[in-house]
Structure 1
Amino acid sequence: MTRPARWHGALWAALMMFAVSGGQAAPVSDVPTVNGISLYDTPALPPDFNHFPWVNTQAPKGGDMVRAAMGSFDSLNPFIIRGDPASGLTAFGGLPFDTLMVESPDEPFTLYGLLASGIRLDPDRRWMEIDLDSRARFHDGSQVTAEDVVTTFETLETQGSPMYRAYYADVTDVEVISPFTVRFEFSEHNSRELPLILGQLPVLSARDIKRRDMTRPTLDPLMGSGPYRISTVQPGQRIVYQRDDDYWGKDLPVNRGRYNIDRLIFDYYRDPSVALTAFRAGRVDLRIETIARNWMTGYDFPAAREGLIQRIEIQDHTPAPMQGFVMNLRRDVFKDRRVRQALGLAFDFDWLNRNLFYGLYSRTHGFFDHSSMEAKGLPDDAERELLAPWRDQLPEEVFNTPLPIKAPQALRPRLKEALELFRKAGYDVRNNRMVNQKTGQPLRFELLLNSSGIERMALPMVRNLARLGIEVNLRTVDSSQYLVRLRQFDFDMTTTVIAQSTNPGNEQREYWGSEYADQPQSRNLAGIASSAVDDLVNHIIRADSRKALDTAASALDRVLRWGFYVIPQYHSPVTRLAYWKKIAMPDQNPEYGLDPDSWWIDPQKARQINARQE
């Protein structure tokens, strides 16, 4: 399951938590009413907890925090594929929107009520009833009701991104039980995490939905009920979120010590180097540094030497994201598995890490690295049981060759191995060009990118492929054109980042499912259409224990890796933050993620820094 983010990007998940009861409706079933649910265990926090353990309840309110966003934006509707939504808005809502429940980054996967003041979950997970907090208000002052929940759900499912249809596929019915109670019915073989997926539903105003076309991008803010309102919009340049002093939930236990900063500002930059220059000049307050060279050499400037800049590395305890070159199987050139495997051998991670990345990165091997779901060695008996029905459809290596896949470290033997694979796939080198042995057609394709920074990483692989006689056209386009082409699968090869949570679920359908292979705008970029993969995804979704989930995910990881659909690149075991010291943080972070909403602006240090910059 992917985690919702109030802040732009997976690393900036601002994960709202638990709400106390307020005007709770009378229960309509004899199932106990609770304030939190978990995937397998009981929520760790007691019903009467006062605030999150890591927050500073005495944190001062006020101040601004400016972040740099890259590219541009043209929409304030994050729930559809069309348009490029502004930073601070996500498919799970973002800063202006409250959700029914929110995830705790201090627990592997537990949700507590936010708009929901009470939850009744069928022991067999066939239905769930949610009581809304009658104090909840939208930004126009109107109450949040069960009708708003149902209208939002139906709108996202029918008019929103295909992701929602994948997430909510096993919801058979949703109905208003009372003005503040809604009931969801689930199919018999639904995902165990489906109640938690629904808990992440951002609730919009039904009245606001009915007055607009929800399928179109818009610069007219959608009506939310969250802690921030959109106050300034300069399309493609800047968006400002203003803390709402009248936010209905500001005194809930989950929110104490959080949402302290008055204004959250995203300024847009076209060039990453210009964004770094803006940070050095004090025009940007915070950076997530993703470029190794910058981290090692880019922070030697006067303010840093004066001790006004803090740099920290935070260990990441979630599965490593799969960043890689994804091949479009809808193109004939990539249909042969041996060709895909051979292309991957031309990616020389060791050279890149040594010469470009200062040794700061680790090689990514699979789709659940650094987790209990990662496939290792040979499949155990439980995995084999899942894989056995598909033996005639899967490569023999899935069953008899240990992972990780061993390849020569030195480039020359790697290219020699790649050349042999190309020949087995029906290609040969003639006049320094890799051509099809039967048709004489050259092996060539386009590598589509959206950042000049990625070019630097991609060029060595392009050069290595050229040594094999393969022509790769490296094409970099702006973010808007890039999104359009991805949504229509109009690419040969491109880069992708597939982030996994500690509890994958329904989103795996859209990543890998046959149903989404030819559905424009889906996240199955590779175009995988495999009955074996579909079956393993269903086992993940329907896992009834942690062990069953790990087994199914490991089997899926194994099949995807031996399919060579993606050329894995690299990941960082830490998150690297650089910020001006006017930003203050609690003494501890939650175990499974950052909580930027618990940060605040130190007034004294802010005055000191502002005086220096004047």
Structure 2
Amino acid sequence: MAKTPGILPTPAATHAISLYGTPKYGPDFRHFDYVNPQAPMGGTLNAPALGSYEKFNPFILKGLAADGLGYLVFETLAVPALDEPDTLYGLLAKAIIPAPDGLSVTFQLNPAARFSNGDPVTAQDVKYSFEQITSKQAGPIYRQVWADVKQIVVIDALTLRADFKRKNHELKMTICQIPVFSAKWGQSAERGETAKLARKPFDKIITDLPIASGPYLIESYDLGKTVTYRRNPNYWGNQHPTRVGMFNFERIRYRYYKDTLTRMEALKAGEIDLIQENSSKNWARSHQGPKWRSGELIKTEFAHSNSAGWQGFVMNQRRPLFQDIRVRQALWLAMDFEWMNRQLFFNLYRRSPSYFTNTELAAQGLPSTEEIALLRPLQQQFPAEFAAQILNSPVPVPPTTLAPNSLRDNLRLAKQLLAEAGWRYSNGALRNAEGMPFKFEMMLADRMQERASAPYARNLEKLGITMSYRVIDAALYQRRQENYDFDMTWDAMAGSQSPGSELITNFGSGSALQPGSSNLIGVQSKLVDALIEHVLQSKNRTQLITACRALDRVLRHGYYIVPHFYSNVHRVSFRQSLAQPAALPRYYRIEEWSVLTWWHKQSTATP
């Protein structure tokens, strides 16, 4: 049929939405491949958490939220599958209808969806949730993620439309992930002759129990110590294909521990049922003993295809000390990964070379023809930010001390760079022209981080640099991070097979001075901003790969972090009473996967 000029085709409703290609699961799918639809239900999963918590509202900036809220209590319009990238399947939304012009998406809500108080989930609730989450009363990260959403328009009780300020192919995905809650959350009845409902300001909803549509309710809690979720007996989504075979535990209890050592003792004592181990030392030395030998505890590795993102020592660009790129490169050269991996990590890790580690998005060698075509115009647009080596040199790879290289050679080069930046050794320390010594503090969240910080400090000491390091409690650590009150710290960003708007919060100039953003580095670069925009505007997978590789190349030429290491397996010890589906997902976190899809073997399920 011929199209009428100027008239857009009528959009089709779909059960799923994808950035690129066709969704793996068709409209009549019954469940995801990585679940067991026959899994028995019941029992209690005792899961560990570190630190403390102060609130049940994860969307406001102040305080630490209880673990599990995001996937046990709150639901979104659509949810991802863990075995394919770039695709979301309708949950609260029965149908998703992207506009042909790319400037809006319409949602038809599932009429069966209900909040925990029994009320239906309506378009007005979605609008209310969006407006609260993107208000100044919520954390700034949400305003950044949905900055290009102009408005939510309620069409009828079960239909709404999200209008966009501009075309951005990723917006149709991010808008699907609005957490939805009832407008009655935070309401209370005032007493008096003229009783009426009073609604708290959103940032004052702290310990009010959420009214949301998820499969679990908060049953009990001891603030900061434990929180227990009970499966909602009236959960609306039991037969929904994105929920079949999932949420098999009757109760999920999170127990909080101050550090990883007490958490390990809790596993041995039977207080908790599993631990994902991120410490190679603990994995090699602590995950053993009578409970493992008897088979009560099982130690294993689960393979994954996750993007490793990035992890490293972050140099705070807001500090004058780190604003010279030669200084940053010198600090980059001072880490001896091979020694750490051999002496501290039992050779269990690999070096992280990229901001998109373990994906095809990582830059390699010299820029490709496609990258050059993308970067050339930006070189003309931002000449002051565009170093010649970006186009003319291979992308920087972390230094190595494997023969014929050595730490001595790396430190010699670091010393030369520091001298070029105006730092000279004098009176027992590296000093600048004003005689001020080169010293700074590494802020740590956990004692396990001291293991890699200490040898790094010793290497810096050989250059005349004093790096002190100390562990601070979780609440203070979060406050200092939110206010960028640190010199250097550990940071890690979960990766994605299809990065998008999170790049704005991680590296965008607009987030660098916004308290609470993820841009701990403090990157403020118009060149980086432009490349992020190219990522967001990619129309196909090829364009996405090119834009991400170019962005990775520019960031790595900035030497903003001292890159760490990664693993392509999850290391877990768990109680033998727990079972998992036979098929592993491809992209998953153990904490989420265990809660979503594991179960207690029927013969050992506990009340």
Shorter-chain TM-score tier: over 0.9
Residue among 278, 283, 296 paired with 1:290 = 278
The corresponding residue for 1:77 is: 57
Amino acid at match of 2:29: F
Which of 450, 463, 486 in structure 2 is aligned with 1:455?
450
2:387 to 392, 395, 398: 395
- In structure 1, the residue matched to 2:600 is 601
Q: Residue 49 of structure 2 contacts residue 255 of structure 2 at CA under 8 Å; is this kept in 1?
A: yes
Q: Judging changes above 3 Å, is the alpha-carbon distance between structure 1 residues 120 and 279 closer, same or farther for their aligned structure 2 residues?
A: same
Structure 2 residue aligned with 1:191: 168
* 2:82 is the counterpart of 1:86: no
Which structure 2 segments of 5+ residues have no match? 1-8, 188-198
Which of residues 220, 245, 248 is equivalent to 1:260? 248
Q: Distance in 2 between matches of 1:340 and 1:281?
A: 45
Q: Which amino acid aligns with 2:117?
A: D
Please tell me whether residue 37 in structure 1 is matched to residue 4 in structure 2. no
Report the Cα offset of residue 406 of structure 1.
6.1
Deviation at 1:216, TM superposition (A): 3.8
In the alignment, is residue 177 of structure 1 matched against residue 146 of structure 2? no
Shift of 1:324: 0.6
**Match 1:108 to one of 85, 92, 95:** 85
SS in 2 for 1:413: helix
CA distance in 1, matches of 2:581, 2:396: 39
**1:162-561 residue pairs with structure 2 within 5 A?**
162-188=140-166, 190-208=167-185, 211-216=199-204, 218-391=206-379, 392=383, 393-405=385-397, 407-409=399-401, 410-436=406-432, 438-561=433-556
> Does the 8 Å CA contact 1:581/1:605 hold for their aligned counterparts?
no
Deviation at 1:32, TM superposition (A): 1.6
Aligned partner letter, 1:302 = P
Letter in 1 for 2:552: D
Tell me the SS of whatever aligns to 1:185.
strand
One-letter amino acid matched to 2:602: P
How far did 1:214 drift?
A: 1.6
User: Structure 2 counterpart of 1:602, which letter?
Assistant: K
In structure 2, what is the Cα distance between the partners aligned to 1:257 and 1:408? 46
Q: Is the 8 A contact 2:184 2:211 kept in 1?
A: no
Q: Is the 8 A contact 1:258 1:598 kept in 2?
A: yes
Deviations along 1:363-398, one digit per CA (max 9) or x if unpaired, are: 111101121110001111221122223432222221
CA shift for structure 1 position 532 = 0.4
* C-alpha distance 448-44 of structure 1, shift in aligned 2 (>3 A): same
User: Deviation of residue 217 (structure 1)?
Assistant: 6.2
Report the AA paired with residue 126 of structure 1.
Answer: L
Alpha-carbon contact 1:308-1:581 (below 8 Å) kept: yes
> How far off is 1:123 after superposition?
2.7
Closer/same/farther in 2, CA of residues 76 and 421 from structure 1, 3 Å limit: same
Partner of residue 51, structure 1? 31
The answer to whether the 8 Å contact 1:432/1:468 transfers is no
What CA deviation, in whole Å up to 9, does each residue of 1:78-137 have, x standing for no partner?
A: 112210111113xxx331111110001111121111111111111332211101111111
Structure 1 residue 408 displacement after superposition:
4.9
**Structure-1 residue corresponding to 2:190:** none
Letter of the structure 2 residue corresponding to residue 471 of structure 1: T
Task: Give the residue type in structure 2 aligned to 1:314.
Answer: F
Higher mean alpha-carbon deviation, 215-224 vs 474-483, is at 215-224
The 3 A distance-change label for structure 1 pair 327 and 51 is same
Question: C-alpha distance in 2, partners of 1:274/1:452?
Answer: 12
Cα pair 1:446 1:491 within 8 Å, conserved: yes
Aligned amino acid, residue 516 of structure 2: Q
SS of corresponding position for 2:202: coil
- Written as runs of structure 1 = structure 2, the 5 A alignment for 1:135-150 is 135-150=112-127
Whole-Å Cα distance in 1 between the matches of residues 519 and 83 of structure 2?
30
Q: Is the CA contact (8 Å cut-off) linking 2:512 and 2:519 kept in structure 1?
A: yes
Percent identity, aligned pairs only, is 39
Q: Is the Cα contact below 8 Å between 2:95 and 2:109 reproduced in 1? A: yes
Q: 562, 568, 580: which one pairs with 1:585?
A: 580
Contact 1:82 1:217 in 2 (8 A): no
Listed one character per residue, the Cα deviations across residues 262-316 of structure 1 (whole Å, up to 9, x for unaligned) are 1111101112111111111221101101111121122221121112222221222
Query: Structure 1 CA distance, aligned partners of 2:342 and 2:331?
Result: 21
Aligned equivalents of 1:405, 1:102: Cα separation in 2: 36
1:163 positional shift: 1.4
Compared with structure 1, are the counterparts of its residues 383 and 44 closer, same or farther at alpha carbon in structure 2 (3 Å cutoff)? same
Task: Supply the AA of the counterpart residue of 1:259.
Answer: F
* Contact 1:435/1:441 (<8 A) preserved: yes
Deviation, 1:475, is 2.4
4+ residue runs over 6 A deviation: none
TM-score, normalised to structure 1, is 0.91
Alpha-carbon distance, 1:34 to partner: 1.3
* TM-fit CA distance, 1:346: 1.3
Counterpart contact for 1:488–1:520, Cα < 8 Å: yes
Amino acid across the alignment from 1:492:
D
Greater CA drift, 118-127 or 243-252: 118-127
Contact 2:353–2:398 under 8 Å retained in 1: no
Cα distance in 1, alignment partners of residues 181 and 513 from structure 2: 30
Aligned-pair CA distance for 1:552: 0.6
TM-superposed deviation, 1:606: 4.5
CA distance in 1, matches of 2:244, 2:238: 7
Give the TM-score, by structure 2 length.
Answer: 0.92
* Contact 2:82–2:588 (CA under 8 A) maintained in structure 1: yes
Alignment partners' CA distance in 2, 1:118 and 1:586: 29
| 8 Å CA contact retained: 2:308, 2:494 | yes
Q: Contact 2:507 / 2:519 at 8 angstroms: preserved in 1?
A: yes
Amino acid at match of 1:295: W
Q: How many Å separate the matches in 2 of 1:448 and 1:406?
A: 22
Letter in 2 for 1:480: A
CA shift digits 1:549-581 (9 cap, x unpaired) = 111110110111110111111111111111001
Superposition CA RMSD, Å: 1.6
* Letter in structure 1 aligned against 2:108: D
Q: How many residue pairs are counted as aligned between the two chains? A: 575
Q: Out of 36, 45, 57, which is 1:65 matched to?
A: 45
Q: CA deviation at 1:209?
A: 5.3
Cα contact 1:82–1:216 (8 A) shared by 2: no
Task: For 2:298 and 2:205, locate their aligned partners in 1 and report how far apart those are by CA, in whole Å.
Answer: 38
Q: State the distance in 2 between where 1:213 and 1:450 align.
A: 32
Question: Is the contact between residue 374 and residue 557 of structure 1 (CA under 8 Å) also seen in structure 2?
Answer: yes
